Structure 1
């Protein structure tokens, strides 16, 4: 099924408003480039006919993904997705991470850079004005001079406008990148937090199992003292206790590593004093959110929107490269004044008005190669966009299927635990009566205790899949909260 079809064409808008395809546009550019072989007078005569027609790109035509997701819920999606989890500790951790995580703060700084670059690029659409005053002293004679100069490059082929638009699209892509980074960060905080809770639960469970194992060891040693069992029964039970101690050591090491990881996500050093993460319990899974339609996901997911803006920036880059193959016209004007004193400096001005027409004659194919490069870059951006959309839909479907199957696995583990608990009780009773071998008791204990640990991990894994679903469905909010005004247009950016 063709999920997405994006058609990107770079067009030259002529004075008769006729739009042409990439191939015919290239032919048109080659025809106009041949004008360089004629005299400058002919070219100057043609310029008024061309006017200031912009060189624009055809807006991308996007076909929305069809179909619907395999499962959906009824709970509404919220912008701060973690608020759907009944966990006050998680809410506090997320707020801290969003305010202090250094990687997120660096992404915010890069957004500020992109915004400044957009304003800088937009400034080229306006005239430049410079003023200066100088003083020269020769053998006691002072001479003052003042100047006022203005220059303006006419955007004949739309290259300057395209450059401003490219910078604007890059800035918009940076906004979406910030939102994507924020969503990733909040998901990592939630995952790490529940992994930490799981490890705390594993340690508690292992201690409880150790207590049960030691009670069993006392029973076996008592029977051994009475000559009712062999020494191998005692040794095997002691080995079970030692293996549980090894599991405890691994769990404590993993707990410490997760605490360090969570500290780093919160922008804190793991060696800083006073850092303590309260132990908690794994929460019950909230209601399944309303996944909506695939077409809606494409519209609000930040990484998809980022890929779209990068595609639009690549389209604008094509227009920049094509415009660079045409002549440029710069108008300039200057006023100068020279006097022996400051009082007479502004009484007599000399004005100069000039126009400069520059056009490529021979560059060894450099500009043609740049057009080819930007076309290839636009095709790559197109495929990247398509890949991002497919990945987004895949992530939602994967999370939905995995959660559904994990629920079935948990139900099976619950039934297995009930059965193994009964097996442990019966084999232990038969062992005390001397009608069962100790290996049956040992095997039942190991199976039951392993299932207890697996059940705890499976509950945390179910939460991980729900976090992955929220991460896949989440829309952006952080960049909007940092802005005090609406997204400016290209001209508005230039005037900032």
Structure 2
């Protein structure tokens, strides 16, 4: 009879983990398009894609950020927390063993009559062991551990997502700084040229070849060019401060950024198909893992509505002499079954709650996938339109330079006034700075495209976890 009961318990313990398996869900939480609307694939870029810029300076900045960025360091701390919670969930599947020990000394006085007293004293030493083990008959504890294991993996994906975001933000800030420096250099050249033109106009005025209006107009052009300088310098300082924070620094004083020219555009990455997002994006992977974790929570809540079986064993040792402590003992072995009879619907409500949380996780997963595809589509669309815009802007700049040369020739020949020439020249100066800014925008969008496509290069991240 005892053997039959033991065999029954063993079968339940083995099969319990599969009794409330989570529901099987499709690979994708929403219908995915077969391909992106805009794309012509080039060769895929490297895993650490920013190295394609060929800048040792940039490589050092990104490596510094991946080690010292506040978000990345926070993600490592959260990963350590998740690891501890996972180990706790695993510990619930194992027996517990506690030990206790004590010593007691007592004194007793007994008075028998007015002149007689009796004194006695005693010593007692005790020790004990207590063990308990809950058999996971229905897979509740196993489901909770599986849920925490998936949550741990999701937190690791959060770390990878933080690294992907931080690396892209560092590269973007670096490009912004280089773009602003290039615009400042161009503006300084333009200010210098405007100053020389003013000196020429003053000389022409002194020789009667120009009037006061033309001198005033050139002074206005010089002042306008100088007025554009402080905002650009301010923007550069702000970007340096932002980059310092990305690196985990409090000051940009010693920020190692010496380059002043924009890098070449790196290779267009191979985007693949939208379904690749499910495996390539760490934030998408994290959302999918959290959905699975929520499903295992449902399994645990369902199993919690059934009785639980706990085995316990106790051994107590006691003696009034320390050397005889382990000669006197009492051992107890027990089994107890606990099950809900009436809980006011608490456990049923818990099942409903965890199912609703799983549906929330499913919606969040679907939204994450949809937004990831949108980001890729936006970046691909920007790739095409920004390239077209830069081409047209270059054509506009070329036409503006031609117009400026013609205006200058007509002015020198007395066929046009100085304001026409000055307007054409101001337009050229503005377009030169704008073109630098738009080229930087295109490079930054290429960076965004790499970020939106994700990748698995973060698997090699090292930290304190």
Query: Which of 351, 354, 357 is matched with 1:377 structurally?
Result: 357
Partner of 1:98: 66
Task: Give, in whole Å, the separation in 1 of the partners of 2:350 and 2:106.
Answer: 52
Residue correspondence of structure 1 range 50-65 to structure 2 within 5 A: 51-52=12-13, 53-54=16-17, 55-63=20-28, 65=32
Q: Is the 8 A contact 1:176 1:476 kept in 2?
A: no
Q: Is the 8 A contact 1:420 1:447 kept in 2?
A: yes
- What is the CA distance between 1:175 and its match in structure 2? 0.5
Cα deviation digits, residues 313-338 of structure 1 (max 9, x gap): 11011112222222222221101110
Shift of 1:303: 0.7
Question: Match of 1:163?
Answer: 144
* Residue of structure 2 in register with 1:285 after alignment: 265
Structure 2 residue 162 is the aligned partner of structure 1 residue 181: yes
Q: Given the alignment, which residue of 438, 445, 461 partners 2:418?
A: 438
Output aligned runs, 1:106-145, within 5 Å: 106-139=74-107, 140-145=121-126
| Paired position in structure 2 for 1:451 | 431
Deviation, 1:347, is 1.7
1:172 aligns with 2:153: yes
Q: CA deviation at 1:48?
A: 6.0
Aligned to 1:478: 458
**Aligned-residue offset at 1:65:** 3.7
Aligned equivalents of 2:463, 2:133: Cα separation in 1: 32
Cα pair 1:156 1:328 within 8 Å, conserved: yes
Tell whether 2:326 aligns with 1:346. yes
Mean Cα displacement is larger for which, 93-102 or 366-375?
366-375
Distance 1:120 1:476 in 2: 29
Q: Which residue of 1 aligns with 2:275?
A: 295
> Contact 1:180 / 1:476 at 8 angstroms: preserved in 2?
no
- Over residues 250-296 of structure 1, what are the superposed CA-to-partner deviations in whole Å (9 max), with x where a residue is unaligned? 01111111111111111112165x33420331111122222222222
Looking at structure 2, the residues matched to 67 and 164 of structure 1 have their Cα atoms a distance apart, in angstroms, of 37
Q: Which TM-score applies when normalising by structure 2? A: 0.89
Closer/same/farther in 2, CA of residues 233 and 81 from structure 1, 3 Å limit: same
Unaligned runs of 5+ in 1: 1-43, 486-496
Q: Paired residue for 2:296?
A: 316
Matched residue SS, 1:137: strand
What corresponds to 1:270 in structure 2? 251
The one-character-per-residue Cα deviations of 1:155-179 (angstroms, maximum 9, x if unpaired) are: 1222111111111111000000000
2:379 is matched with which residue: 382, 399, 405?
Answer: 399
Deviation string for 1:223-243 (max 9, x for gaps)? 333444443332222222222
Q: How far off is 1:438 after superposition?
A: 2.1
Task: Provide the secondary structure at the position in 1 that maps to 2:231.
Answer: helix
Q: 1:151 to 1:480 in 2, by over 3 A?
A: farther
- 1:212 paired residue number: 193
The separation in 2 between residues aligned to 1:73 and 1:367, in whole angstroms, is 54
Post-superposition shift, 1:479?
Answer: 4.9
Q: Do the aligned partners of 1:237 and 1:442 also contact (CA within 8 Å) in 2?
A: yes
Aligned alpha-carbon RMSD (Å): 2.3
Query: How many residues align structurally?
Result: 440
- Using the size of structure 1 for normalisation, the TM-score is 0.84
Q: What are the Cα deviations for residues 45-90 of structure 1, in whole angstroms up to 9, with x where unaligned?
A: xx86993323221243214845123314332343212122222221
Q: Is 2:9–2:137's contact at 8 Å kept on the other side of the alignment?
A: no
- 1:67 pairs, out of 31, 34, 38, with 34
